[in-house]
Homo-oligomer: A and B are copies of this chain.
Amino acid sequence: MSRDSKLSGVLHLLLHMVQDRAPKTSETLAKAMDTNPVVVRRLMAGLRDHNLVRSEKGHGGGWTLACDPANVTLRDVYDALGQPALLAIANRNERAGCMVEASVNTALSKSFAEAQAILLVRFGELTLAMLSADIQKRLKQRGRLTKVKVHG
């Protein structure tokens, strides 16, 4: 469990919720993600604070979407998760006064910043609605393939 997969995981949950708007319990969502209900609640907590989802306690409660999928980008979701680190590599701590380290770190930092910026831009271009449409397309595609298989 090294790489952070919170974004991937929480998008999975959100899109299941877009596909079916009935309230979902943490238990149900956990099963879809093959994990623990507490993990789900932790992931969703940030989204709730950013008004992307709502939660209801008690009987018949659960999680519901609180946003328009067409207006929410992956960038919004990423922000709601608390902007976890994007890059796995980083500079060593500078030793004060070492020009070599300063030079190396400056050069690397520029590349790092550029890569991060690209990621954030791409995230900002993708909405939940776009992904949802893609899912629909895939489902239709699979249906067609299944028929072909059955008929062939």
Contacts and interface: CB of A to CB of B under 8 A. Distances in A.
B15 A108 contact: no
Contacts of A126: 107, 111
Q: How many copies does the complex hold?
A: 2
Contact of A8 (B11, B88, B91, B114): B91
A40 to B, nearest CB: 13
A111 B118 CA distance: 8
Q: How large is the interface on A (under 10, 10 to 19, 20 to 34, 35 or more residues)?
A: 35 or more
Given A3-B85, A8-B90, A32-B98, 17 more contacts: A3-B90, A4-B88, A5-B89, A7-B108, A8-B104, A12-B92, A12-B98, A19-B100, A74-B107, A84-B88, A87-B88, A99-B139, A111-B118, A111-B122, A114-B122, A115-B118, A115-B122
A122 B104 contact: no
Q: Which residue of A5, A8, A74, A86 has the most chain B CB atoms within 10 A of its CB atom?
A: A8
